[in-house]
C-alpha cells in the first residue's frame, strides 16, 4: 500500500509538472505570436501612414509631411527591432529585418529631400513608389505565416519579394546585391 501510494503521488506530481510546463510552452508560443502581430501592425501602420500622406500630399504643410515621414520611420524601426529580438539567430529573419531597415531609411531620405526643397512632384513620385513596395512587403507579411515558416520558405518569400521591389536608392541596391550574391542559384 505504501508503494502504491508513493507511485500515485509521483504520477500526480509528474502530471502537475507536465501541465505547468505545457502551459508555459503555450504561453511562450502565444507571446511569440503576439510579437509577430506587433511586427505586422507596425508594417501595416507605416503603410497606412504612407497612404494618408500620399493622398493628402499636396494639401499638407512641410511640417506635417515631416511628421508623417518620422512616424513611418519609427513604426518600421520598432517592427525591425521586434523581429530582430524574436529570432536573433536566424539568418532569414535577419535578412527580413535588414529589408525593413532599408525601407525605414527611405522616409528619412524623403524628409531630407523635402528640407532641401527638392521639387514636390519628385518627392511625391518617390513616395508613391515606396508605398507600392511597402504594400508588397505588408501583403507578403500578412499572407505568409512567418511564425510557422521554415528558413527555406522565408528565403523563397524574400526572393520573390526582392524581385518585385521597385524603389531605387543606394541602400536598397546594396541590399539586393548582397542578397543575390548570398542566395544559391
The DSSP output letter for 86 is: H
The backbone torsions φ and ψ at residue 175, rounded to the nearest 5 degrees and listed phi first, read -60, -45
Q: Residue 59 — pLDDT band, cuts 50, 70, 90? A: very high
Residue (of 81, 114, 119) closest to 100 by Cα position: 81
Q: Residue 72 — pLDDT band, cuts 50, 70, 90? A: very high
Q: How many whole angstroms separate alpha carbon 140 and alpha carbon 119? A: 32
pLDDT tens digit string along 107-158?
Answer: 989 888 888 888 888 888 999 999 999 998 888 877 666 666 777 888 888 8
- Do the Cβ atoms of 183 and 155 come closer than 8 Å? yes
The DSSP output letter for 117 is: T
Residue (of 181, 141, 147) closest to 160 by Cα position: 141
pTM of the model: 0.77
Amino acid at each position: 500500500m505504501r508503494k502504491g501510494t508513493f507511485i500515485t503521488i509521483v504520477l500526480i506530481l509528474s502530471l502537475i509538472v507536465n501541465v505547468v510546463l505545457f502551459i508555459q510552452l503555450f504561453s511562450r508560443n502565444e507571446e511569440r505570436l503576439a510579437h509577430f502581430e506587433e511586427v505586422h501592425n507596425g508594417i501595416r501602420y507605416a503603410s497606412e501612414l504612407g497612404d494618408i500622406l500620399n493622398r493628402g500630399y499636396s494639401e499638407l504643410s512641410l511640417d506635417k509631411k515631416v511628421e508623417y515621414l518620422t512616424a513611418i520611420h519609427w513604426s518600421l524601426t520598432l517592427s525591425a527591432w521586434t523581429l530582430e529580438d524574436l529570432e536573433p539567430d536566424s539568418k532569414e529573419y535577419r535578412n527580413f529585418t535588414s529589408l525593413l531597415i532599408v525601407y525605414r531609411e527611405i522616409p528619412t531620405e524623403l524628409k531630407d529631400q523635402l528640407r532641401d526643397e527638392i521639387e514636390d512632384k519628385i518627392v511625391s513620385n518617390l513616395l508613391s513608389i515606396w508605398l507600392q513596395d511597402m504594400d508588397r512587403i505588408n501583403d507578403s507579411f500578412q499572407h505568409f505565416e512567418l511564425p510557422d515558416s521554415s528558413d527555406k520558405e522565408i528565403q523563397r518569400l524574400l526572393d520573390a519579394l526582392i524581385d518585385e521591389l521597385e524603389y531605387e536608392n543606394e541602400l536598397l541596391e546594396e541590399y539586393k546585391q548582397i542578397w543575390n550574391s548570398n542566395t544559391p542559384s
